Amino acid sequence: MELMEAIRARKSYRNQFEDTPVPRNDLREILEAGVAAPSGCNMQTTQFIGVDDPVLVKRLAEIYGKEWALTAPAAILVLTKETMSPSGVSYHIHDYSAAMENLLLAITAKGYASVWVEGQIRGERAREMGRLLGVPEELTVAVYLPVGVPAKPMAEAVKKPFEERAWFNGYQKES
């Protein structure tokens, strides 16, 4: 899939997945997209766990607590840690956010679907996911991504028109 096509096709998917596995090589290439993302001062603060063991994938979905997620054949956890850069700022949130978009676009380009699950796992659910996969306590599980082939149509989030958010040659000038 061409890049702009993937950017336009990516949508948050919160529904049933087909009973089709995600081959290890696809999961690896998706993780490679995350690893390739830019990071502040190139500190590479984001780490990733691809999950294709059905027992672990199911347990993650149970911790998340949504019925539809139980049908996902694979999952990814995105790990982060506040890390001071030489400029005295931690860019860890920027870093994993950049990695996240790469992951989501790679997932889309390969014909899979997912959703960035962060708000709904923040705190105890994230810690439980981390314990399940042996994540050291000093790292935070920032995002859970269920991954699979979508079985239902993709729902479209309402977006503000281009003209309300982007311009050329000055604020609120030409769109």
Residues that bind ligand FMN (CB under 6 A): 11-12, 14, 115-120, 157
* Nearer residue to ligand FMN within complex by CB, 12 or 16: 12
Q: Comparing C-alpha atoms, which of 58, 74, 79 is closest to residue 127?
A: 79
- Backbone phi, psi, residue 114, to 5°: -165, -175
Distance CA 72, CA 13 (A): 11
6, 109 in Cβ contact below 8 A?
yes
- Give the C-alpha distances (Å, rounded to integers) separating 11 from 7, 104, 135: 9, 9, 29
* Nearer residue to ligand FMN within complex by CB, 88 or 119: 119
Spatial CB neighbours of 100, under 8 Å, sequence gap ≥ 6: 34, 78, 116, 143
Find the shortest distance in angstroms from Cβ 174 to ligand FMN: 25
* Nearer residue to ligand FMN within complex by CB, 18 or 118: 118
Q: Please name the residue that has the structure tokens 């314990």.
A: 131
* Nearer residue to ligand FMN within complex by CB, 55 or 166: 166
Find the shortest distance in angstroms from Cβ 117 to ligand FMN: 4
Find the shortest distance in angstroms from Cβ 28 to ligand FMN: 24
Find the shortest distance in angstroms from Cβ 84 to ligand FMN: 22
Find the shortest distance in angstroms from Cβ 168 to ligand FMN: 24
The beta strands (E) that lie in 53-162 are given as: 74-80, 140-147
End-to-end C-alpha distance for the chain, whole angstroms: 27
* Nearer residue to ligand FMN within complex by CB, 22 or 64: 64
